[in-house]
Amino acid sequence: MSAIASYRALLRIVGPAYIVVAFLGRIPLAMSQIGTLVLVSTATGSYGKGGAAAGVLAVANAIGSPLAGALADRIGQRPVVLVQSIAGAVGLAGTVLAADRSMPVILVVAGATGFAIPQVGPLARVRWRPITSEEDDQRRLVDAAFSYEGSADEASFVLGPALIGVLAIIAEPEGAMVAAAVMLGVFGTWFAVHPTSDLVARRTTHGGGGTGTMWTVAFFVLVVAQFSIGMIFGSLQTGSTVLAEADGKAGLVGLIHATLGVGSVIAGLAITGLPERILYATRMLAAAIGLLVLSLPLLLVDSIPSLVVVIGLLGFAVAPYMISNFALAGILVPLHRVGTAMTLLAGATGVGYAAGASLAGRLADDHGHTAAFAVTISAAGLAVLLAVTANRALRDAIPYDA
Segment 2-30 mean pLDDT: 90
Cβ-count burial of 201 within 10 angstroms (0-12 exposed, 13-18 middle, 19+ buried)?
middle
**13-27, 78-92, 331-345, 364-378: which range is least confident on average?**
331-345
Whole-number pLDDT of residue 401: 53
Cβ-Cβ contacts under 8 Å for 323 (sequence gap 6 or more): 146, 147, 149, 150, 268, 271, 283
Per DSSP, the three-state class of 296 is: helix
Whole-number pLDDT of residue 47: 66
Would you place residue 364 in the very low, low, confident or very high pLDDT band (cuts 50, 70, 90)?
confident
- Residues comprising the chain, all counted: 402
Cβ–Cβ < 8 Å for 40, 176 = no
For the chain, where do the domains classified as CATH 1.20.1250.20 start and end?
Answer: 1-206, 210-402
Cβ–Cβ < 8 Å for 129, 402 = yes
**69-78, 150-159, 177-186, 384-393: which range is least confident on average?**
150-159
Calculate the CA 49 to chain-centre distance.
24
Segment 332-354 mean pLDDT: 85
Please, where are the H alpha helices in 99-216?
103-116, 120-131, 138-183, 189-193, 196-206
Whole-number pLDDT of residue 91: 97
Whole-number pLDDT of residue 204: 52
Amino acid at 269: L
**Tens digits of residue pLDDT in 296-309:** 999 999 898 999 99
Distance CA 348, CA 350 (A): 5
Was domain 1-206 assigned CATH 1.20.1250.20? yes
Cα Rg of the chain, angstroms: 20
Cβ–Cβ < 8 Å for 360, 376 = yes
Segment 262-290 mean pLDDT: 87
Between 253 and 225, residue with greater pLDDT:
225
Confidence check: pLDDT of 156 > 90: no
Distance CA 236, CA 52 (A): 19
**Tens digits of residue pLDDT in 160-210:** 877 887 887 788 889 999 999 999 999 999 999 999 988 876 555 554 444
Segment 387-391 mean pLDDT: 93
Whole-number pLDDT of residue 134: 84
Instruction: Please give the model's pTM, rounded to 2 decimal places.
Output: 0.81
Whole-number pLDDT of residue 253: 67
Distance CA 189, CA 399 (A): 32
| Segment (H or E) for 78 | helix 77-98
Whole-number pLDDT of residue 167: 85
Q: What percent of the chain has pLDDT over 70?
A: 94
Whole-number pLDDT of residue 37: 79
**Tens digits of residue pLDDT in 89-99:** 999 999 999 99
Per DSSP, the three-state class of 134 is: coil
Confidence check: pLDDT of 51 > 80: no
Superfamily of 210-402 according to CATH: MFS general substrate transporter like domains (1.20.1250.20)
Whole-number pLDDT of residue 22: 95
Most confidently modeled range among 51-60, 61-70, 133-142, 348-357? 61-70
Task: Compute the mean pLDDT over every residue in the chain, rounded to the nearest whole number.
Answer: 87
Cβ-Cβ contacts under 8 Å for 167 (sequence gap 6 or more): 175, 176, 179
Confidence check: pLDDT of 214 > 80: no
